[in-house]
A and B are shown apart, each in its own frame.
Chain A
Amino acid sequence: MKQWLHPGFWLTLLIVLALGLAPVFTRNAGLRETGFTILLAISMAVSLNIIMGYTGYVSFGHVVFYGLGGYTGMYLIDTWGAPLPLAVLGGGATSALLAFGLGKAILRLRGAYFALATIGVNEAVRTFVANFKPFGGPTGIELQFSVYKQYGGAADALWLTYYGVIAISVFAVIFSYYIKTSKFGLGLMSIREDEDAAEVMGVITPDAKTMAFVFSAFLPGMLGVLFFFKNGNVEPADAFRLGFSIESLVMIMLGGQGTLLGPVIGALGYQRLRGLLLTSDAMIGSLPLKDFQLVIAGLLMLVIILFIPAGLVGWLRQKFAFLRRILV
């Protein structure tokens, strides 16, 4: 129980709560949209951190769970008229199931081979869904406008999805911290440091890795449903965009992998920077600065990797001993 008194946990939770609740109290739709993007990024990064930061397996396929979950949820709503909460759980469950099935097979691969396989899985699922008739093939699924009526119209439905994403990100932080401080989490971290040694010490590595993969897949599955429900339609190219996976990786690297606060700070920083660049009016020569958004993100990432590989939180913990008791 002592771990729940740690200031680092409360600090992280407070940051997420403050970010999430600000638009609720001001009832500002613009703030809500920004908040949605940021909380989505935070939950994606925090969930990816379970397999990448704690276990040390770098997955480029995190978006496959987001996309497949989103598709399942949209299918349940569109074809079966399922209520949103059920669709969200259905999306999460499908992604968790996929992770369970895949995990046993591809988690045998180590290092870069695993990373490559996850790229392959994402592309295989994307191209398959684009051919899969119940999911609408290449055009995807588009919701009827009347679907939103049972939630009190489109405006209320948007608030509903926003409450959903707050709940998921708060859950993500608590869950991630619970794993990090549990015996199971200790097993994961020993796999990250030395898998063979962990096995010798009695960690049942294939099971532990698969469970970590399942836990990290469940959240994006639910998030996908919320996002595409809010969006009104889902297409293969949006649902399985490899770049989205990599953005989540970058957020974790920015903040510090393997920490609780890191992915939260990284996601917040990345989305803020992106928002600033996209709305900036500055010019470089004859071209607007926002055309260089990708270049600036790339440069930033390169600098972090080359000079501060531990990320912001990791770096602070290394530099200042007293922060080790506060940041987690």
Chain B
Amino acid sequence: MNAGMILTSLVDGLLIGVVYGIAAMGLNLIWGVMRVINLAHGALISLGMFGVYLLFSGLGLNPYLSLVLVALLGLLMGVLIYVIAIQRVINAPYLSTLLATFAINMIIIGLGTAAFTTTPRDIGFSLGNVELGPLTLQGTRLVAALVTLTVTAILYTFLYRTRTGKYIRAVSNNRAAAELMGIPSARILALSFGIGTMLAAIAGGLIATFFSFTILSGDLYQQKSFIIGVLGGLGNPLGALVGGLILGVLEGVLPLTMPNTWVPVIEFVLFIVILLVKPSGLLGGKK
């Protein structure tokens, strides 16, 4: 094992970690604003993958252009899901929202399996490799990381520099008080769920550009999102990026020291330990 190998694993891990981060950001935003754990997150990631795949291989659209379309569709779909499945139970005990989102997950996965079967798909798209000193990086991964960082910057600006963003933060902070201040909370909740879904779709679309996938793949990234969410602090969208980086580095470096199959064991044990010791996440944040 030489220094170049370690460096490559590390940078690869960081690049993937950023993309995991954006998936987790969606989950975190939804949890932060409405205290809903979205169990349909994985299915929505899968839909993002298939969206980009179908637009690219069916219509020949550039994957990154497809991603914009997929993001918009994701936003609409999220709002729709919120109105149909979540609005009625948003104030019910949390079991209701857990199961409502899981029902959505079953419906999407069921329809997806009927339509696409579970044969692995590969988008077959490449941007070549980029040489940086001792490093050789896949072009698609590099671009994916750059897209993610751009989306994060836009999300940050939106949340902290616009009026609507301020509304979202207010509802997240205290819904009752926000309503008293005249904030249309029903619409803000729907929008937040839409944005969360959009982030899942973007993450899926980006992952599809460099990994093969099936309709069930999203589940794996949903679990990673849970781990990242807890690492970065549930409800803290930007902490998710840091959590994603931590997970990415772990996944890049741990396989160098142990068999690959032990990595998820470490990840899930870490997940439970952090939940127990500091449920607000490593980066703190309000409880």
Q: Any chain B CB within 8 A of the CB of A116?
A: yes
Task: State which residues 258-278 of B face A: CB under 8 Å.
Answer: 259, 261-262, 264-265, 268-269, 271-272, 275-276
Q: Whose C-beta in chain B lies nearest to the C-beta of A128?
A: B265
Residue-wise interface mask of B (101-112) relative to A, using a CB-CB cutoff of 8 A (1 in contact, 0 not):
011111101110
Measured CA separation A237–B24 after assembly (Å): 25
- Contact among B95, B106, B262 with A298 in the assembled complex (CB-CB below 8 Å): B106
Task: State which residues 179-208 of A face B: CB under 8 Å.
Answer: none
Query: In the complex, are the beta carbons of B106 and A301 less than 8 A apart?
Result: yes
Query: In the complex, are the beta carbons of B226 and A305 less than 8 A apart?
Result: no
Q: Any chain B CB within 8 A of the CB of A302?
A: yes
Query: In the complex, are the beta carbons of A298 and B110 less than 8 A apart?
Result: yes
| Residues on the A chain within 8 Å of B103, using CB | 298-299, 301-302, 305
Asked if A127 meets B265 with Cβ closer than 8 Å, knowing A249-B99, A292-B114, A309-B96, the reply is yes
Where chain A touches its partner, the secondary structure class is helix
Smallest beta-carbon distance A96→chain B, Å: 20
| Residues on the B chain within 8 Å of A121, using CB | 268, 272
Asked if A253 meets B264 with Cβ closer than 8 Å, knowing A105-B276, A113-B279, A302-B107, the reply is no
Q: Any chain B CB within 8 A of the CB of A106?
A: yes
Q: Any chain B CB within 8 A of the CB of A250?
A: yes
| Residues on the B chain within 8 Å of A295, using CB | 106-107, 110-111, 114
Measured CA separation A3–B269 after assembly (Å): 44
Smallest beta-carbon distance B85→chain A, Å: 6
- B86-94, B148-156, B168-176, B182-190: which lies at the A interface? B86-94
Smallest beta-carbon distance B35→chain A, Å: 7
Asked if A120 meets B271 with Cβ closer than 8 Å, knowing A112-B98, A115-B98, A138-B261, the reply is yes
- Best-surrounded residue of A117, A120, A124, A250 (most CB of chain B within 10 A): A120
A: contact size bracket = 35 or more
Measured CA separation A58–B103 after assembly (Å): 16
Smallest beta-carbon distance B84→chain A, Å: 8
Task: State which residues 291-317 of A face B: CB under 8 Å.
Answer: 291-299, 301-302, 305-306, 309
Query: In the complex, are the beta carbons of A250 and B226 less than 8 A apart?
Result: no
Measured CA separation A106–B273 after assembly (Å): 10
Query: In the complex, are the beta carbons of A131 and B262 less than 8 A apart?
Result: yes
Smallest beta-carbon distance A176→chain B, Å: 19
Measured CA separation A23–B60 after assembly (Å): 58
Q: Whose C-beta in chain A lies nearest to the C-beta of B263?
A: A127
Q: Any chain B CB within 8 A of the CB of A111?
A: yes
Query: In the complex, are the beta carbons of A287 and B265 less than 8 A apart?
Result: no
Q: Any chain B CB within 8 A of the CB of A21?
A: no
Asked if A299 meets B107 with Cβ closer than 8 Å, knowing A291-B114, A306-B85, the reply is yes
Smallest beta-carbon distance A99→chain B, Å: 15
Q: Any chain A CB within 8 A of the CB of B113?
A: yes
Query: In the complex, are the beta carbons of A302 and B100 less than 8 A apart?
Result: yes
Task: State which residues 224-266 of A face B: CB under 8 Å.
Answer: 246, 249-250, 253
Q: Any chain B CB within 8 A of the CB of A142?
A: no
Q: Any chain A CB within 8 A of the CB of B230?
A: yes
Query: In the complex, are the beta carbons of A298 and B35 less than 8 A apart?
Result: no
Query: In the complex, are the beta carbons of B37 and A115 less than 8 A apart?
Result: yes
Q: Any chain B CB within 8 A of the CB of A123?
A: yes
Measured CA separation A307–B265 after assembly (Å): 39
Query: In the complex, are the beta carbons of B276 and A305 less than 8 A apart?
Result: no
Query: In the complex, are the beta carbons of A305 and B106 less than 8 A apart?
Result: no
Q: Any chain B CB within 8 A of the CB of A174?
A: no
Task: State which residues 109-141 of A face B: CB under 8 Å.
Answer: 109, 111-113, 115-117, 119-121, 123-124, 127-128, 130-131, 138
Q: Any chain B CB within 8 A of the CB of A27?
A: no
Q: Whose C-beta in chain A lies nearest to the C-beta of B88?
A: A306
Q: Any chain B CB within 8 A of the CB of A108?
A: yes
Smallest beta-carbon distance B271→chain A, Å: 5
Task: State which residues 109-140 of B face A: CB under 8 Å.
Answer: 109-111, 113-114
| Residues on the B chain within 8 Å of A117, using CB | 272, 275-276
Query: In the complex, are the beta carbons of A294 and B113 less than 8 A apart?
Result: yes
Q: Whose C-beta in chain B lies nearest to the C-beta of A138?
A: B261
Measured CA separation A45–B37 after assembly (Å): 23
Query: In the complex, are the beta carbons of A131 and B268 less than 8 A apart?
Result: no
Query: In the complex, are the beta carbons of A127 and B261 less than 8 A apart?
Result: yes
Task: State which residues 87-113 of A face B: CB under 8 Å.
Answer: 105-106, 108-109, 111-113
Q: Any chain A CB within 8 A of the CB of B223?
A: yes
Query: In the complex, are the beta carbons of A309 and B276 less than 8 A apart?
Result: no
Query: In the complex, are the beta carbons of B114 and A287 less than 8 A apart?
Result: yes
Residues of A whose CB lies within 8 Å of any CB of B are: 58, 105-106, 108-109, 111-113, 115-117, 119-121, 123-124, 127-128, 130-131, 138, 246, 249-250, 253, 287, 291-299, 301-302, 305-306, 309
Residues of B whose CB lies within 8 Å of any CB of A are: 31, 35, 37, 85, 88-89, 92, 94-96, 98-100, 102-107, 109-111, 113-114, 223, 226-227, 230, 259, 261-262, 264-265, 268-269, 271-272, 275-276, 279
By Cβ-Cβ distance, the 5 closest A-B pairs, closest first, are: A294-B110, A298-B106, A295-B110, A124-B268, A298-B107
Q: List 18 A-B contacts (CB under 8 A).
A: A58-B94, A106-B272, A112-B98, A116-B226, A119-B226, A120-B275, A121-B272, A123-B223, A123-B264, A124-B265, A124-B272, A127-B265, A131-B261, A292-B114, A294-B106, A298-B110, A305-B99, A306-B100
Task: Give 20 A-B pairs besides A297-B110, A301-B106, A306-B85 with Cβ atoms closer than 8 angstroms.
Answer: A58-B94, A112-B31, A115-B37, A116-B226, A120-B272, A121-B268, A124-B271, A124-B272, A246-B102, A253-B99, A291-B110, A294-B106, A294-B109, A295-B110, A295-B114, A296-B110, A298-B106, A298-B110, A301-B99, A309-B89
